[in-house]
Amino acid sequence: MSRKPNARPADPLDPSSPEAVVRFDGVSMRYGRDAEVLKDITFELPRGSFHFLTGPSGSGKSTLLKLIYLAEQASRGRIEIFGRDLALLKRADRPLMRRRIGVVFQEFRLLDHLTVFDNAALAPRIAGRKPAAYRGDVADLLAWVGLGDRMHAMPPALSGGEKQRLAIARAVINRPDILLADEPTGNVDEAMALRILRLFTELNRVGATVLIASHDSDLVVRSGMPVLNLHEGRLAQAPGFNPELDG
């Protein structure tokens, strides 16, 4: 992999980075006629950065992630992913962009009728790669996340932690440019949480831009990574963010 590692942590609230892979400019979001879930959000994620997204339940963390992985469309404002304005993105181009974004969902969203191996192999399969070209990678990755002996199991037979690791394996198998995770440590014990954090750090080290929504304050503090803090739909710099250290 030849991507540039996370060498230049930046202040995400300073929209000046020429290498931003995610850029929000005055973005608001409401579902139907309800009140706005996100209000006038402006930030950017430089290529190869690693951020936590924190905030209480209902603050809009999941909605912000959905906007990045193209599951929702902003009500107002401008979003650029990989330099492309999502409002101008053709429907036919959305799948190609999604293939560059790995997502670990809070509720996993595994396909219960497929084996662990089939679930993990979903992204390269959809990308049209031949099975022989990726099955070795899938097996290696599953072994790496500790599911080497569970490859033929079905998701309903997995524990919460195993499901979590499978969801992570599925999200990273294609080596995405952006990795999003919504409460990835919500269902695992502390040891597993640290292991998952190490996994994300490894992926970030080889070039992935990582954004993790979490309200696990211990994990956030322990990671030492910069934080985007949402409160009632508005973005504020987290108290723990240190511009001198991170920016």
Q: What angle is formed at CA 64 by the lines to CA 246 and CA 156, rounded to 5 degrees? A: 105
Residues 121-150 interacting with another protein (rule: CB under 8 A): 121-123, 125-127, 131, 135-136, 138-139
Position 113 contacts another protein (CB under 8 A): yes
Phi, psi of 161 (to 5 degrees): -65, -40
Under the binding rule (CB under 8 A), the answer on residue 109 touching another protein is yes
89 lines the binding site for another protein (CB under 8 A):
no
> Which phi-psi region, left, alpha or beta, contains residue 207 (left: φ > 0; alpha: ψ -120 to 50)?
left
Which among 244, 157, 172, 240 is positioned nearest to 203, based on CA atoms?
Answer: 172
Strand order in the sheet with 50-54: 101-104, 178-182, 209-213, 50-54, 227-231, 234-237
Residue 42 interacts with another protein (CB under 8 A)? no
The nearer residue to another protein, 98 or 234, going by C-beta atoms, is: 98
Cβ proximity to another protein: between 31 and 221 the closer is: 31
72 vs 26: CA distance, rounded Å: 16
Kindly state the helix (H) or strand (E) to which residue 137 belongs, with its residue range: helix 131-144
> Quick one: 101 or 238, whose CB is closer to another protein?
101
Q: CB under 8 A: which stretch of 29-37, 77-85, 110-118, 198-206 binds another protein? A: 110-118
Give the interface with another protein as residue ranges (CB under 8 A).
69-73, 91-92, 95-96, 98-99, 103, 109, 111, 113-115, 117-118, 121-123, 125-127, 131, 135-136, 138-139, 151-152, 170
